[in-house]
A = this chain, B = another copy of it.
Amino acid sequence: MYERKIQPTLNCGLDLVGEVIYGKWKIRLLWFIHEGHQRPSELQRKIPDASRRVLSSQLKELEDHELISKVIYPVVPPKVEYSLTDFGKTLIPVIAALGNWGDAHEERLRSIILKRPHHLSTP
């Protein structure tokens, strides 16, 4: 596993939240799990742009951070189900707020992001 060389900043609440939700797909994972998609393969289908490897890895971090818990069924093929912990559930309203803001400003955001994209060369 990768070992950080630079220590994280943990001054305020924002720093702390950042440590647990900063990850390309983490917020979406929490949200989809909240919606009832509990199995890795389901989540993978909900987020096809993410590689299986990364989803698995971020799920593990969420678990380490006690936001989700994992149940492994001893069957073949393997079956695993994630669910929000009570702690994780307290984060849902906040994530909902983020999503609502995004939805509320969808048109504008989409336009702004695609306008002078940081990811395309043609000006």
| Contact (A16, B65) CB under 8 Å given A1-B118, A10-B113, A97-B94 | no
Asked if A33 lies at the interface with its beta carbon under 8 angstroms from chain B, I say no
Interface of A is mostly: helix
Q: Shortest distance in angstroms between A101's beta carbon and chain B's nearest beta carbon? A: 5
Asked if A53 lies at the interface with its beta carbon under 8 angstroms from chain B, I say no
Report the nearest B residue to A111, measured CB to CB: B66
Asked if A42 lies at the interface with its beta carbon under 8 angstroms from chain B, I say no
B119 & A8 in contact (Cβ 8 Å cutoff): yes
Asked if A112 lies at the interface with its beta carbon under 8 angstroms from chain B, I say yes
Give A61 to B64 CA distance when docked, in angstroms: 32
B109 & A90 in contact (Cβ 8 Å cutoff): no
